[in-house]
Amino acid sequence: MTAARTVLITGAGGQVGREAVDRFRAADWQVVAHDRSSLDVTRRGDVLEAVAAARPDAVLNLAAWNAVDQAETDEEAAFAVNAIAVRHLADASRRNAARFVHVSTDYVFDGTKDSPYGEWDRTNPQSAYGRSKEAGEQEVGPDQAIVRTSWVCGAHGSNLVKTVLRLAAASDQTLAFVTDQIGCPTMAADLAATLVTLVDDEHVGTFHVTNGGPVSWYEFVREILEAAGYPPERVRPIATAELDPPRPAPRPANSVLDGLALRLSGLPALRHHREALDELVAELQP
Ligand SMILES: NC(=O)c1ccc[n+]([C@@H]2O[C@H](COP(=O)([O-])OP(=O)(O)OC[C@H]3O[C@@H](n4cnc5c(N)ncnc54)[C@H](OP(=O)(O)O)[C@@H]3O)[C@@H](O)[C@H]2O)c1
């Protein structure tokens, strides 16, 4: 019998982190799960110590500063978690001969391309958050892996699906969402399953991992309402320019990530987001 392999997961209290812990356990990995209270990834000494103590086969970084608007006025705080912490984790992984997988975002692109972004497209972030995540990617070595994803929703933490369900249940008010930002919603559980595959098979390099089916935020909110049995007309379409007040951080108009590297590696694409969304809504609204 072979000994169980060990993965150390940072940010294990987050929405992807919690799904990843479950998925790795289900795949017979031994999981050393660190949320922010047990490991602050910005503290280099603590990171080196935690990885050395766990002696993991792999390290998966799901800790992040995701406050996109707040990052505009506190860019250094975003860089602390999204950039320098990645340096510490990549270094600690190397020292302990552990594979390292880091999760990044569509915000590294400027969103002006008129077709989906591939892994080899040039990054050009437009926000402080995007710059901090791009800097984090630069800390990941060629023998390590980056997984970019977008529009993450899941059963844990806060996300758009939960917000829309809460607002729809609380009142009949009409919601307003934009039609001029498009992306691929990604269910945290599906992303976590692909993270297990990538770690299991010891892949290196950059991968785009999202559910299929690009939509605008407006279309996605219609789908959420529909899946939960509300009239989809309870959301009306607006343009980003109509947002009042405007949001401090610019969002990419095109956030659609193409999973070219998955395809070329012979790995399965994730299913359409609608099927995964229906399952999530059923779970949240039993
Ligand atoms: N959410 C999205 O739509 C989205 C889209 C594209 C890419 N991503 C990427 O996907 C990854 C997972 O994101 P997520 O959606 O799971 O976000 P999340 O739910 O916000 O989880 C991130 C976790 O990191 C923790 N964290 C923050 N600062 C930390 C620190 N200094 N040390 C240790 N942990 C710290 C947070 O703890 P606290 O809650 O205590 O702050 C939180 O539990 C991130 O790399 C993110 O950039 C997310």
From the CA of 148, give the closest atom in ligand 1.
7
Q: How far is the CA of 79 from the centre of ligand 1 (A)?
A: 13
Distances (CA, A) of 238 to 16, 217, 243, 258: 30, 10, 8, 26
From the CA of 156, give the closest atom in ligand 1.
19
Q: Which of 117, 129, 218, 230 is catalytic?
A: 129
Beta strand extents in the chain (DSSP E only): 6-10, 30-34, 58-61, 99-105, 145-149, 152-153, 175-178, 182-183, 186-187, 205-208, 215-216, 235-238
Q: How far is the CA of 3 from the centre of ligand 1 (A)?
A: 30
- Chain-centre distance of CA 96, in angstroms? 26
pTM value is 0.97
Residues in the chain with pLDDT values less than 50: none
* CB-based pocket (< 6 A), ligand 1: 10-11, 13-17, 35-36, 40-42, 62-66, 81, 103, 105, 133, 149-152, 157
Q: How far is the CA of 16 from the centre of ligand 1 (A)?
A: 8
pLDDT at site 2? 65
- CA angle, residues 221, 149, 98, in degrees to nearest 5: 150
Alpha-carbon distance 216 to 220, whole Å? 6
Amino acid at 158: S
- CA angle, residues 67, 72, 75, in degrees to nearest 5: 85
Q: Does 117 participate in catalysis according to the annotation?
A: no
Q: How far is the CA of 231 from the centre of ligand 1 (A)?
A: 32
Q: What is the CA radius of gyration of the chain?
A: 19
Q: Describe the strand order of the beta sheet including 58-61 as a list of residue ranges.
A: 30-34, 6-10, 58-61, 99-105, 145-149, 205-208
